[in-house]
């Protein structure tokens, strides 16, 4: 059974709030969106949260934190989606994380969405390196944090540089990560990829419960309904 809920999206700010008089909120799901410059990270996040898209590249020097909410397994969860700039490397220690303001919160994310551009070989290499660094540097006990690999710009399929099945096999079979291809421009599979991300973090947290989550199309700007 899916329960509908309206989610609003707010920028900045943190903290849990009681909701609907039901008492304490579960802690927020922290989603980190990473990838090389220009792969479409900001476009994906904007498409998901606002159903908005711009042809202009976004200036990408700082991280942007967005707050939203979702219903997962019958519980309302705050979502904290952080759109990171193209960081040169994943911080190897908490000190490094806090020294570089772009990286704040990155080591404690519950799920990583690693985005590459299907037409840019280097952007896949970036994702490879980032995945490796995440596995090597995350604090002990959290190494199994879910990672979802996303190939964006699916609409530019003709310019694809690595066959889809090669990437998909590597990611799913060898890396044991989820793989989704999407187009922020045409809104293909954007909801699906966030659903996958939430399902993976939900499953990791409550191993005996099948994660049920469903998104509906945005009802109007700044709002969307989750079932």
The site for ligand GDP (CB under 6 A) is made up of 35, 37-43, 54-58, 60, 152-153, 155-156, 183-185
Closest CB 39 distance from ligand GDP, rounded Å: 4
Q: Minimum CB separation from ligand GDP for residue 93, in Å?
A: 26
DSSP summary character for residue 162: S
**H helices within 30-84, ranges in order?**
41-50
The one of Mg ion, ligand GDP, none whose footprint includes residue 62, by CB under 5 to 8 A per kind, is none
Closer by beta carbon to Mg ion, 41 or else 107: 41
Nearest distance in Å: CB 35, ligand GDP: 6
Q: In the bound complex, what is the minimum distance in angstroms from residue 182's beta carbon to Mg ion? A: 16
Quote the CA–CA distance of 56 and 63 in Å, as a whole number.
Answer: 18
**Residue 1 near which of Mg ion, ligand GDP, none (CB within 5-8 Å, type-dependent):** none
Nearest distance from residue 37's CB to Mg ion, in Å?
7
64-72, strands of its sheet edge to edge: 10-11, 64-72, 75-83, 29-35, 111-117, 147-152, 178-181
> d(Cα 171, Cα 178) in Å, to the nearest integer?
7
Beta bridge mates, 29: 79
From Mg ion, ligand GDP, none, interface partner of 35 (C-beta below 5 to 8 A by class): ligand GDP
The CA distance from 90 to 138, in Å, is 9
Tracing tokens 């990829």 back to the chain, one arrives at 193
- Which of Mg ion, ligand GDP, none sits in contact with 64, Cβ below 5 to 8 A by type? none
Contact residues for Mg ion, defined by CB under 5 A: 41-42, 58, 60
In the block, tokens 């694809």 appear at 160
């Amino acid at each position: 059974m899916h329960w509908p809920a309206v989610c609003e999206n707010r920028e900045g700010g943190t903290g849990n709030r009681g909701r609907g008089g039901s008492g304490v909120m579960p802690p927020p799901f922290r989603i980190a969106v990473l990838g090389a410059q220009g792969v479409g990270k900001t476009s994906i996040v904007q498409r998901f949260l606002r159903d908005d898209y711009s042809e202009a590249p976004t200036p990408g020097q700082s991280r942007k934190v967005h707050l939203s909410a979702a219903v997962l397994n019958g519980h309302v969860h705050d979502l904290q989606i952080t759109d990171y700039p193209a960081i040169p490397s994943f911080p190897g220690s908490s000190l490094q994380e806090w020294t570089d303001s772009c990286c704040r919160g990155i080591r404690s994310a519950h799920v990583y969405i690693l985005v590459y551009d299907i037409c840019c070989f280097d952007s896949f290499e970036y994702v490879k390196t980032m995945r490796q660094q995440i596995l090597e540097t995350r604090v002990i006990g959290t190494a199994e944090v879910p990672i979802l690999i996303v190939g964006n710009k699916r609409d530019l399929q003709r310019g694809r540089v690595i066959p889809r099945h090669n990437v998909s096999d590597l990611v799913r079979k060898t890396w044991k990560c989820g793989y989704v291809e999407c187009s922020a421009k045409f809104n293909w599979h954007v909801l699906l990829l966030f659903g996958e991300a939430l399902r993976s973090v939900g499953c990791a947290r409550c191993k005996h419960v099948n994660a049920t989550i469903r998104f509906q199309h945005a009802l109007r700007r700044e709002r969307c309904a989750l079932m």
